[in-house]
Amino acid sequence: MTKMFRCKFLAHGLYIHYDCFRHCHLSIHSPNERNNNYIIPYTGPQDKIDWEKVFEIKNSRVKSMREGDIPPFCKGCHWIEEFDETSDEQYLSDFENYIDMIWLGHSNQCNANCIYCFAYQEILEHRTIKGYDIFPLFKELLDKKIYNLEKNPNAHVSFAMGEPTIMQNFDDIIKTFADGGNKFFALYSNGIHFSKMTEKVLAMPDVEINVVISLDAGSREVFKKVKKVDKFDTVCENIKKYAAAANKPKGLGVKYIIIPDINDTKEEIDRWLDICINKLNVKYLIADIEEHWFVQKHGEVPEYIKDLLRYIRQRCLDANIDFEFYDRALVLHL
């Protein structure tokens, strides 16, 4: 029986990078293949977009996956789904020409220097490049129904690079999509800059926003090692404000990325858990493993790190706190 594969992001995702469109922002297990995760060049509103070409390329990838050929940049990704000819659902909508997942990666401006940042080298090389005006692209996506909320009312916009809350026109970006009917957003932040727009959206009953802040430490000293900035107290204060505003259990999540030889101790994790649960009133916690190390080790994770991940999960269960593994931790199936 022929194995068939598909990925919802490959079919309908669009990663808006600073110089091109890509299929997604993941490729987490194949960093050397990221350059192949590419659709067309795009550097701003002066570039006319050939949407037929965009969907032709995406459909060719979808077809190849159905024939059992997984692109190199997708191999090892946990979002790939397997099915066969006997499956009731053949995912015919994968060939329809619309986008229902946008990652905004056109700006890499940041106010931290996290040692694990997957775009660290790009940020060093391109930090001084001014971001282009993205609003003409938004208008085209919405007016032409390329970003199609009728096809998928659960379509959502994700901020995928740099620190989104200091991005030029961040508030207007949220407002533009919300006014267009978009109800779902994902925001990945370091929490250094407090965003009143984020606080406002977290409190809105008719908008689903998932704000994830990577604290990655339970102490100021370890935080400085990870982020290369001395802002631990500021981030904790901002997390507390966001937690108070969030009207949904998973509106605000705080993440701990385990980094070997930096924050990989039970004592530091206990400090992080105690601060989040007892002082900041966080209701949703997340754990992951640092990507570069994980890739270098080919996913071979020592038992002590697995034990730390299990420990975090159990502490959350005991405290009745929502918990989730992300990416590298997720594929371990702990």
What is the domain range of residue 257? 212-334
Domain identity same for 180 and 69: yes
d(CA 21, CA 9): 13
**Residue 9 reports pLDDT greater than 70:** yes
Nearest to 155 by CA among 93, 208, 107: 208
Query: What is the SS3 string spanning 7-48?
Result: CHHHHHEEEEECCEEECCCCCCCCHHHHHHCCCEECCCCCCC
**Residue 112 reports pLDDT greater than 80:** yes
Does 196 reside within a domain?
no
Phi, psi of 40 (to 5 degrees): -145, 160
Q: Count how many domains the chain has.
A: 2
Nearest to 223 by CA among 74, 113, 99, 300: 113
d(CA 239, CA 236): 5
d(CA 34, CA 174): 28
CB-count burial class (<10 Å; 0-12, 13-18, 19+) for 316: buried
Domain identity same for 327 and 217: yes
Does 198 reside within a domain?
no
Domain identity same for 184 and 315: no
Q: Quote the distance between the C-alpha of residue 118 and its chain's center.
A: 11
pLDDT per residue over 285-330, tens digit each?
999 999 888 878 888 999 999 999 999 999 999 999 999 999 889 8
Does 307 reside within a domain?
yes
d(CA 112, CA 25): 20
Percent of the chain with pLDDT over 70: 92
Q: Which of 27-31, 79-83, 108-112, 165-169 has the lowest mean pLDDT?
A: 27-31
Dihedral angle of Cα 254, 306, 265, 269, to the nearest 10 degrees: 30
DSSP three-state, residue 284: strand
Specify the amino acid at residue 306: K
Q: Quickly list H helices, the chain.
A: 8-12, 51-66, 120-126, 135-143, 170-179, 196-203, 220-227, 232-245, 266-274, 291-296, 303-318, 327-330
**Residue 269 reports pLDDT greater than 60:** yes
Q: In the predicted model, what is the mean pLDDT of the chain? A: 88
Domain identity same for 185 and 227: no
Domain stops at, among 157, 189, 221: 189
